Structure formats: C-alpha cells, structure tokens
Amino acid sequence: MPTKPMDAIALLKADHRKVEDLFEKAMKARDDDRKKELVKQICTELCVHTMIEEEIFYPACTGEAEDDKIDEAYVEHDGAKVIISELLNSDTDNEFYDAKIKVLSEEIKHHVKEEEKRGEGLFAQAREAGLDLDGLGERMMARKEELLEQFKSGTLPPPQTRSFTGHKLQQGKPVDGGTAAAGD
C-alpha cells in the first residue's frame, strides 16, 4: 500500500526525529565500529536534510517568513557542516570525537527548536504564509530520494557553506591534555 505523501513540514519533522534517535544511539554506543557507523548515518541524514532545506524549503520561505529566521538557519547549518566534516574525516580514537558528536547534537537540538517553535518558528511562519506545503513536500521527497541514492556509494560530498565565506582557518597545535606547565 503506497504511503501518503508528507507535506514539507511533516517531512522535515520526521527527519528531525530520526536524527535525534540516531544521536541518542551514537552517544550510548560503546563499540567504536558501531559508533562510527551511527555517526556516518547522522552525517548522511544531516547532509541530505540541509540540502533539501537550502535548495527548496528556505527559498520558498524567503519573503514569506522573517528574514532573520532564515539567515539564522543558514548560519546554524554552516556551523553544523563544519563539525560534520570533522567527524567524517576522523576516527573514534580522535581526542575530540565524542565531544564533536555531543556539540553537533546540541547544535541540531537548538536548530530544531528554532524551526519547530510554536507560533513563531520557521515552520509556523511557513504555514501562516500559506505556502504550498504539499507541493514542497513532494519536491523535497523527490530530491531527498535522489540524494540518498547518490550517497549510497558511501561517499558524501564535502559540505558547502553558504554563510561562512572568506575565512582562512589555520590548524593550531593539538591540545596537549593539560600536561604542559602553566605559562608555556
């Protein structure tokens, strides 16, 4: 029996719940291979989710919702993409691996809360503006399926930032775990 198509907001909320569940499992995982697999799933889900929001949902909301809400969403996505890239390019034995999972989870929780906030969140504003949420949902689901198929090969494209531009980051010395004498 075919499933009923979801409107855009239902689709995005379903993604949010799925990622929340994956984060919970990843933070409880004791086996490094299992944790790494869960983190890859999280990163894949978040990459696809951000792409469909940025390509389809946010442009549809532009001019219909408060511009600052959309601007903040792009910046929050970009901050998450930096950590996603870090996680995808490191192993569980990396000193900061678990901390990066936790911080990414917290960033995503904040982002979800902002989007889903009753009455004034981006989703509420999209509904109030009368956007064609069914049509957007169909387009987003088609793009999501396309992206998931594309990513089945196991490699994700490097995340693209939209609001972080022109910065040249330099890698500093690794944290020494507090073994250096004060004042070094």
Confidence of residue 181 (pLDDT cuts 50, 70, 90): very low
**Mean of the pLDDT values across residues 10-31?**
97
Hey, CA dihedral for 82, 107, 142, 149, is it positive or negative? positive
Q: Residue 155 carries which side chain, given as an amino acid letter?
A: T
Percentage of the chain beyond pLDDT 90 is 73
Q: Tens digit of pLDDT for each residue in 127-176?
A: 999 999 999 999 999 999 999 988 887 666 777 788 877 666 666 777 66
Q: What is the pLDDT of residue 47?
A: 94
More confident residue, 76 or 154: 76
User: Does the pTM exceed 0.75?
Assistant: yes
Confidence of residue 182 (pLDDT cuts 50, 70, 90): very low
Are the CB atoms for 127 and 7 separated by under 8 Å? no
| Distance (Å) of CA 20 to CA 14, 15, 70, 80, 171 | 10, 9, 22, 14, 31
